Amino acid sequence: MVEDYVISNGVKDERVIDAMVEVPRHLFVEEALAGQAYGDSALPIGDGQSISRPFVVARMSEALCLQGDERVLEVGGGSAYQSAILSRLAGEIFSIERLQSLATKARRILLTLKCQNVLFKVSDGTLGWKDKAPFDAILVAASSPAVPQELLSQLKDGGRLVIPIGKGGKNDVQHLMRYVKMGDSFKKEYLDDCSFVPLIGEQGWKEGEINA
């Protein structure tokens, strides 16, 4: 999987590649889908959510430019696959998932894999985790109509926010973007086209709005 879908698509960060090799992706999907876990496709995890393609997980992880000791906020914990990858790349991971059913499964898997530097909570991820801020990096694993201002405010100077922007219907294009905090402003960078489930919350999409 890593050779065929991660390295071949241009991911070069050796730490990211090693993390992708170490984390067993089949543990994060339903048993019936385990045989598809090492292909380069998103897979359903229940409640209308999905686990991202391996390449996308690696690409977003690489875009955070992590060295090993950072505090990272993850919005949209989902299956916890991205959480497990990040746990091998940074010092502390603070992951938010809005659905209790997914959070319960995620905590169990992270415990099994001994990812002791990941703190998981159920909340509105568009509002961030203010009492744990500021963060060196923020990764958002769902598409937003615009960048949540609350997340930008929780970045350290020099911090990186990676987020997909766009509606995400069948005929809509989403753009994977990186925002780098530079004093009182932000450097905006386009990374790739992508496809994610919608980011539901106070500063994201509202329930039902995505299909309107």
Tokens of 134: 């500021």
- Mean pLDDT score of the chain, rounded to an integer? 94
Q: What is the pLDDT of residues 137-167, one digit of tens each?
A: 999 999 999 999 999 999 999 999 999 999 8
* pLDDT mean over 30-59: 92
Residues 6+ away with beta carbon under 8 Å from 43: 29, 33, 36, 37, 50, 51
| pTM for the structure as a whole | 0.95
CA distance 107 to 110: 5
pLDDT band at residue 20 under the 50/70/90 scheme: very high
* pLDDT mean over 31-40: 92
Hey, how many other C-beta atoms are within 10 angstroms of the C-beta on 47?
13
Q: Judging by beta carbons within 10 Å of its beta carbon (0-12, 13-18, 19+), is residue 88 exposed, middle or buried? A: buried
**Based on the structure, what is the number of domains in the chain?**
1
Q: What is the pLDDT of residues 82-141, one digit of tens each?
A: 999 999 999 999 999 999 999 999 999 999 999 999 999 999 999 999 999 999 999 999
Catalytic residues, by residue number, are 52
Residue 172: pLDDT above 80?
Answer: no
Range of the domain at 76: 2-211
Residue 168: pLDDT above 70?
Answer: no
Residue 187: pLDDT above 60?
Answer: yes
pLDDT, position 48: 83
User: Which CATH number is 171's domain given?
Assistant: 3.40.50.150
